């Protein structure tokens, strides 16, 4: 994963800018450079956010399509990733909102009223993390976090982004990144402890 | 240092992102604040647990097909836009022709012609208003992610 900056990666930034300019002139094939550079990040962040392989694949590809459709609004002098990331997270969050609304409606219709939190997001750990009880428990707990908390946990723990990179992607000051990470980890710890009835380390 | 200031810094310490001066301040706080020191220990254990979790790598097939899928969608999008634009142009042309023949038709009474034309004008005005509103919201929507 890379968040390109002019000083650190001039060559890769130059290629990126060139691709953007060609896309802005209507050359759709030039977009391939950008897609291939960020497809893994896009897919795995989407997977972390929505928790389902097919949806993550579809949403990440849709984000690239929208980026291409709006590429004329983008300033080629700026790094592509933060701009693209805003598209991706909006798509994922809207998708989750729509699915929650659907699920609530379905629940009202059957007058069941019993929301199974473990499957609330189709957050199926079996296909996403290794077959290891602790890993699956942690992944399920991540799936129950509020969207913004889950996002920052995914960026930090599964993408290994630095604080500066997260601040760039989220358009947030560093201090806010740190405090959001604090609240997210605290919420995750509480979820794991509640499930375990004690120390998360002893799972 | 207050506990509220120490909390975000505990994250920076944990992730190796802390500056030297901040680290000294934080350690001074931790030495006398049992609650924060205990919380930090909990976070350390949590980090160990989460670091043991790795995402499974998807089948390599998806990366081979990824670009062509994106490209196909872009192409389909362009096709849909072309289709919509040309369909709209054809509809407008047909509309003009219909109005023209209506005006030239000698068998219809003037009052009836005026009524039909007024109905058409009303419909077009309504349509334009809806389109303008949609465009307005579409623009605002776009700016949500274009920072």
Residue B42 burial (10 A CB sphere; 0-12, 13-18, 19+): middle
Q: Residue A199's Cα: distance from chain center in Å?
A: 28
Chain A positions touching B71 (Cβ under 8 A) are 28-29, 31-32
Q: Is A24 or A200 the better-scoring residue by pLDDT?
A: A24
Q: Is the CB of residue B64 less than 8 Å away from at least one CB of chain A?
A: no
Q: How far apart are CA A67 and CA A70, in angstroms?
A: 5
* CB-CB contact of B14 with B40 (8 Å): yes
- Given A138, A175, A199, which is nearest B45 (Cβ)? A199
Q: Collect all residues of chain A within an 8 Å Cβ-Cβ radius of residue B54.
A: 129-130, 135, 158
| Residue owning tokens 């994106």 | B70
Whether B146 and chain A come into contact, CB under 8 Å, resolves to: yes
Of B67, B142, B144, the CB nearest to A35: B67
Distance CA B6, CA B13 (A): 10
pLDDT at B4 over 70: yes
Is a pLDDT exceeding 90 seen at residue A62? yes
Q: Which of B43, B47, B77 sits opposite A69 (nearest CB)?
A: B77
Q: And the tokens for B92?
A: 């407008």
Q: What is the pLDDT of residues A186-200, one digit of tens each?
A: 999 999 988 776 554
* Integer Rg of chain A from CA: 19
What whole-number distance in Å separates Cα of residue B124 and Cα of residue B139? Answer: 22
Residue A125: the pLDDT is: 65
What's the gap in Å between the CA of A23 and the closest CA on chain B?
Answer: 12
What is Dmax (Cα atoms) for chain A? 59
| Angstrom distances, CA of residue B142 to CA of A87, B111, B138 | 9, 46, 6
Mean pLDDT of chain B: 88
**Given the structure tokens 């009202």, which residue do they identify?**
A108
Q: Are A139 and A125 within 8 A, CB to CB?
A: yes
Least confident of A180-184, B17-21, B115-119, B142-146: B142-146
Model pLDDT for residues B16-49, shown as the tens digit of each residue: 999 999 999 999 999 999 999 999 999 999 999 8
- In this prediction the ipTM stands at 0.78
Q: CB-based contact (8 Å) between A171 and chain B?
A: yes
Q: How many CA atoms lie within 13 A of B47 on its CB side?
A: 17
- On whether any CB of chain B is under 8 Å from the CB of A68, the answer is yes
Please answer yes or no on whether A188 and B45 come within 8 Å at the CB atom.
Answer: no
- Express each pLDDT in A76-110 by its tens digit: 888 999 999 999 999 999 999 888 888 777 777 66
Contact map slice: A 97-126 vs B, CB within 8 A: none
Distance (Å, rounded) from C-alpha A80 to C-alpha B17?
25
Say what the pLDDT of residue A117 is: 45
- State the pLDDT at residue A126: 63
Residue of A74, A86, A157 for testing the chain B interface, max B β-carbons within 10 Å = A157
**pLDDT attached to residue A127:** 60
pLDDT at A9: 58
**A residues 174..193 contacting B (CB < 8 A):** 175, 178-179, 181-182, 185, 188-189, 192
Handedness of CA B22, A160, A148, B52 (dihedral sign): negative
Shortest distance, CA B144 to any CA of chain A (angstroms) = 9
For the record, the structure tokens of A154 come out as 């995914």
Residue A113 pLDDT: 53
* 8-state DSSP, B55: B
C-alpha span between A140 and B146 (Å, rounded): 33
pLDDT, tens digit (0-9, with 9 covering 90-100), for A122-139: 566 666 666 677 888 888
Which among A185, A186, A194, A202 is the top mutation candidate for probing chain B, defined by the most B β-carbons within 10 Å of its own β-carbon?
A185
CB of A71 closer than 8 Å to CB of A20:
yes
Q: How many interchain CB pairs under 8 A, A with B?
A: 124
Higher-scoring residue by pLDDT: B87, A6: B87
**What's the pLDDT at A61?**
95
């Amino acid at each position: 994963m890379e968040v390109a900056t002019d000083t650190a990666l001039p060559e890769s930034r130059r290629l990126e800018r060139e691709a953007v300019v060609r896309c802005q002139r209507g050359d759709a094939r030039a977009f391939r450079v950008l897609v291939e550079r960020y497809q893994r990040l896009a897919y795995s962040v989407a997977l972390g956010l929505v928790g389902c392989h097919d949806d993550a694949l579809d949403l990440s590809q849709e984000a690239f399509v929208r980026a291409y459709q709006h590429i004329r609004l983008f300033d080629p002098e700026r790094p592509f990733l933060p701009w693209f990331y805003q598209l991706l997270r909006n798509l994922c969050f809207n998708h989750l909102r729509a699915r929650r609304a659907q699920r609530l409606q379905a629940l009202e219709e059957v007058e069941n009223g019993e929301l199974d939190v473990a499957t609330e997001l189709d957050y199926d750990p079996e296909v996403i993390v290794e077959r290891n009880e602790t890993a699956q428990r942690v992944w399920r707990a991540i799936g129950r976090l509020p969207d913004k908390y889950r996002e920052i946990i995914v960026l930090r723990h599964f993408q290994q982004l630095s604080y500066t990179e997260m601040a760039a992607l989220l358009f947030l000051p560093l201090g806010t990144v740190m405090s959001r990470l604090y609240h997210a980890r605290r919420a995750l710890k509480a979820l794991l402890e509640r499930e375990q009835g004690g120390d998360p380390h002893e799972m | 240092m207050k506990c509220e200031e120490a909390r975000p810094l505990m994250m920076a310490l944990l992730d190796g992102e802390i500056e030297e001066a901040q680290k000294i301040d934080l350690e001074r706080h931790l030495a006398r604040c049992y609650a924060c020191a205990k919380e930090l220990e909990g976070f350390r254990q949590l980090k160990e647990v989460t670091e043991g979790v790795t995402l499974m790598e998807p089948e390599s097939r998806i990366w081979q097909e990824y670009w062509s899928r994106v490209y196909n969608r872009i192409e389909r999008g362009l096709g849909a836009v072309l289709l919509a634009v040309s369909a709209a142009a054809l509809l407008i042309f047909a509309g003009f022709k219909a109005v023209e023949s209506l005006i030239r038709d000698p068998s219809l009474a003037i009052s009836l012609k005026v009524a039909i034309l007024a109905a058409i004008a009303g419909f077009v005005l309504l349509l334009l208003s809806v389109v303008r509103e949609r465009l307005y919201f579409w623009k605002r929507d776009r700016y949500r992610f274009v920072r």
